[in-house]
Amino acid sequence: MWIYQQKTLSSLQSSFVMMWIYQQKTLSSLQSSFVMMWIYQQKTLSSLQSSFVMMWIYQQKTLSSLQSSFVMMWIYQQKTLSSLQSSFVMMWIYQQKTLSSLQSSFVMMWIYQQKTLSSLQSSFVMMWIYQQKTLSSLQSSFVMMWIYQQKTLSSLQSSFVMMWIYQQKTLSSLQSSFVMMWIYQQKTLSSLQSSFVMMWIYQQKTLSSLQSSFVMMWIYQQKTLSSLQSSFVMMWIYQQKTLSSLQSSFVMMWIYQQKTLSSLQSSFVMMWIYQQKTLSSLQSSFVMMWIYQQKTLSSLQSSFVMMWIYQQKTLSSLQSSFVMMWIYQQKTLSSLQSSFVMMWIYQQKTLSSLQSSFVMMWIYQQKTLSSLQSSFVMMWIYQQKTLSSLQSSFVMMWIYQQKTLSSLQSSFVMMWIYQQKTLSSLQSSFVMMWIYQQKTLSSLQSSFVMMWIYQQKTLSSLQSSFVMMWIYQQKTLSSLQSSFVMMWIYQQKTLSSLQSSFVMMWIYQQKTLSSLQSSFVMMWIYQQKTLSSLQSSFVMMWIYQQKTLSSLQSSFVMMWIYQQKTLSSLQSSFVMMWIYQQKTLSSLQSSFVMMWIYQQKTLSSLQSSFSAGLVQSRSMPFTFAPKNLALVLSTTNSTEAFTSIGSHCHMCSLTGLVHPISQTCPQITQ
């Protein structure tokens, strides 16, 4: 389109140069107005583009955050599954410990378990083969569903490509119409006729037609909002039915679980581990499919955003062409009087302001609808997370049910049939979810198609209005009469009335959107209450289950207390023996201590006696006669006697007696 426009405009280059020179000289106020309008339009388009870019970035961030959340959720799920597996291992160990309370003797149960293992091995083999076939069939169904989804998305993309080609052709046709209109303008701008009243009457009709077009657009918008509201209501009713069906399924499963919690078997661990891996793989496949689907929807949405940005640029270019055409028309209409120029400039400003107001109102409305759609998308994402959490709760409850199924007796075939029915119900739930998702995509596609049709109709109506206005304007721009002032006053009143009508319509539209938002809020609150009630039911069911486990735990605790008492009694015996040993050692130590104290007392007494004997040695001679030594000390000086004794004798450390240095255990006589 741009290349064609350049070629078309190249032939008019000299005229545009002359037009530009004249515009700079005579239409400075109009130029400033158009510059302001252009700047505002560029700012509006830039703001709109920025808004789309911001919306796109936000959407990408939201999708990235959603993807990250799915990755985090996946990692968390894997950690949770790992933790759950560890918890189940620990719970399984704990269960093995607590199962002893179901029978009077764990030894009897173990013997019975060993006997039944051989008879159930063949049943497990058959069950294992059947499970592999069922899971393979389920996987094939999901592969078929995935292929169908890809074909549907490819068909949707093709439809949008066809729609885009049609849009380009329509815009090309519009450009051709404007080129022909421009040629007609150049031919019909030769003279000014005398009856401006006719132009004014037609202008009033044109404004009335414009008002009617806005009213029609507003009515269509209200119908679209009503249809959107109806779609949300239908979706909500379907959601409630789905939740009710899910709740019924949980109730049925719970009743069956309570019936089947009668006996316990041990070889369920092998099947349990494989089942967990299979369910984890299935869940991973759904997560991968979901991430890919979100990327596809994100790509589809980005295509619409890019198409919308290009369309806005095309409309901006079209509007610029009208502005350039209008400037040239102003140059040609130089013979008109200054009052008409002033009036025309003011009229253009008023219409531009009205158009800008309508454009801003439309942009705001689109942002409001986009925000409403985003809110619904976020609500839907949250709902999906809630349903995913509910599904996870169902999976956890199902895992717990599989863990707590009491035994695999001869009626294990019945339990296996029920398990297959439950997997079939799960598959049906996924099929229902898939159908609903396809309906949602179909509704989204329908909404885009409706929006596209409406946009094409609006562009067609705008084109028709411009063509008719342009033809009539070229025919009726003959002269200026004296009644122009009256016409101007009436026109201002009409524009004021039209502006008031738009304001009233805008206020009503905001109230309608507010009412729609309130309805969504009420619906959301009711949904949360329903989910809360469902959650409460699960909590009650979980409490009952915990009480049952608590009863089993209490029995195990009693057994554990008895075991602890036995160990405590044994420990007490060891403690008593140890205390007795410590007492014996303490008594022996006390005997040694007593002996040591007595020895110290004896030594102290001997030392005291010896000191007293040295004091009395002035008048009493001391004779020490060992076996091989005769020593007689006779002195009146106690110090000399003590020194002499100390040179040849020392005191025994055992007896406290003095003996010669040469003897070890002497016989002392005095």
595 vs 39: which has the higher pLDDT: 595
Question: What are the distances in angstroms from CA 435 to CA 243, 432, 504?
Answer: 15, 5, 42
* Residue with token string 């980005």: 302
DSSP string for 64-94: HHHHHHHHHHHHHHHHHHHHHHHHHHHHHHH
d(CA 519, CA 604): 107
Which of the given ranges, 50-54, 139-143, 613-617, has the highest pLDDT on average? 613-617
Question: Hey, which residues does 632 pair with through a beta bridge?
Answer: 623
Whole-angstrom distance between the N-terminal and C-terminal Cα of the chain?
146
Model pLDDT for residues 388-412, shown as the tens digit of each residue: 555 565 555 555 555 555 444 444 5
Say what the pLDDT of residue 443 is. Answer: 62
d(CA 267, CA 183): 90
Question: Hey, which residues does 651 pair with through a beta bridge?
Answer: 658
Locate 357 and state its tokens.
């107001």
Question: Hey, which residues does 660 pair with through a beta bridge?
Answer: 649
Residue 134 within any structural domain of the chain = yes
Residue 397 within any structural domain of the chain = no
Q: Say if residue 607's pLDDT is above 80.
A: yes
Residues 631 and 559 in one domain: no
pLDDT cut 90: percent of the chain above it: 0
Q: Say if residue 89's pLDDT is above 80.
A: no
Using 50, 70 and 90 to split pLDDT, how confident is the model at 193?
A: very low
Q: How many domains does the structure of the chain reveal?
A: 2
Residue 190 Cα to chain centre, angstroms:
68
**Which of these three, 517, 532, 565, is where a domain ends?**
565
Residues 200 and 325 in one domain: yes
Say what the pLDDT of residue 105 is. Answer: 42
Locate 104 and state its tokens.
């009077």
Q: Which domain holds residue 626?
A: 621-660
Query: In 10 A of CB 666, how many CB atoms?
Result: 19
Residues 643 and 522 in one domain: no
Locate 108 and state its tokens.
């009897």
Residues 650 and 537 in one domain: no
Using 50, 70 and 90 to split pLDDT, how confident is the model at 127?
A: low
Residues 559 and 625 in one domain: no
Burial (CB < 10 A; 0-12, 13-18, 19+), residue 34, is buried
The answer for residues whose C-beta is within 8 angstroms of residue 164's C-beta and 6 or more apart is 307
Residues 184 and 268 in one domain: yes
Residues 560 and 628 in one domain: no
Residue 116 within any structural domain of the chain = no
Residues 557 and 626 in one domain: no
**Which of these three, 543, 565, 587, is where a domain ends?**
565
Per mean pLDDT, which range of 110-119, 323-332, 354-363, 594-603 is the poorest? Answer: 110-119
Query: In 10 A of CB 203, how many CB atoms?
Result: 19
Using 50, 70 and 90 to split pLDDT, how confident is the model at 590?
A: confident
The answer to whether the beta carbons of residues 406 and 260 sit under 8 Å apart is yes
d(CA 359, CA 352): 10
**Which of these three, 550, 565, 580, is where a domain ends?**
565
Residue 506 within any structural domain of the chain = yes
Residue 111 within any structural domain of the chain = no
Say what the pLDDT of residue 611 is. Answer: 76
User: What's this model's pTM, rounded to 2 decimal places?
Assistant: 0.24
Per mean pLDDT, which range of 223-227, 317-321, 478-482 is the poorest? Answer: 478-482
Question: What are the distances in angstroms from CA 354 to CA 211, 347, 364, 496?
Answer: 11, 10, 15, 10
Residue 584 within any structural domain of the chain = no
Residues 552 and 628 in one domain: no
DSSP three-state, residue 664? coil
Residues 641 and 552 in one domain: no
Residue 410 within any structural domain of the chain = no
Residues 369 and 270 in one domain: yes
Q: Say if residue 145's pLDDT is above 60.
A: no
CA dihedral sign of residues 630, 636, 637, 638: positive
Q: Given its phi and psi angles, is residue 305 left (phi above 0), alpha (psi -120 to 50 degrees) or beta? A: alpha
Using 50, 70 and 90 to split pLDDT, how confident is the model at 450?
A: low
Using 50, 70 and 90 to split pLDDT, how confident is the model at 359?
A: low
Average pLDDT of the residues of the chain: 57
Question: Hey, which residues does 659 pair with through a beta bridge?
Answer: 650
d(CA 432, CA 438): 10
d(CA 566, CA 560): 10
Q: Say if residue 604's pLDDT is above 80.
A: yes
The answer for residues whose C-beta is within 8 angstroms of residue 556's C-beta and 6 or more apart is 94, 97, 98, 100, 101
Residues 448 and 314 in one domain: yes
The answer to whether the beta carbons of residues 467 and 181 sit under 8 Å apart is yes
Residue 283 within any structural domain of the chain = yes
Locate 151 and state its tokens.
């074909």
d(CA 387, CA 534): 11
d(CA 395, CA 273): 14
Per mean pLDDT, which range of 438-447, 545-554, 617-626, 643-652 is the poorest? Answer: 617-626
What is the pLDDT averaged over residues 572-580? 65
d(CA 149, CA 154): 8
660 vs 265: which has the higher pLDDT: 660
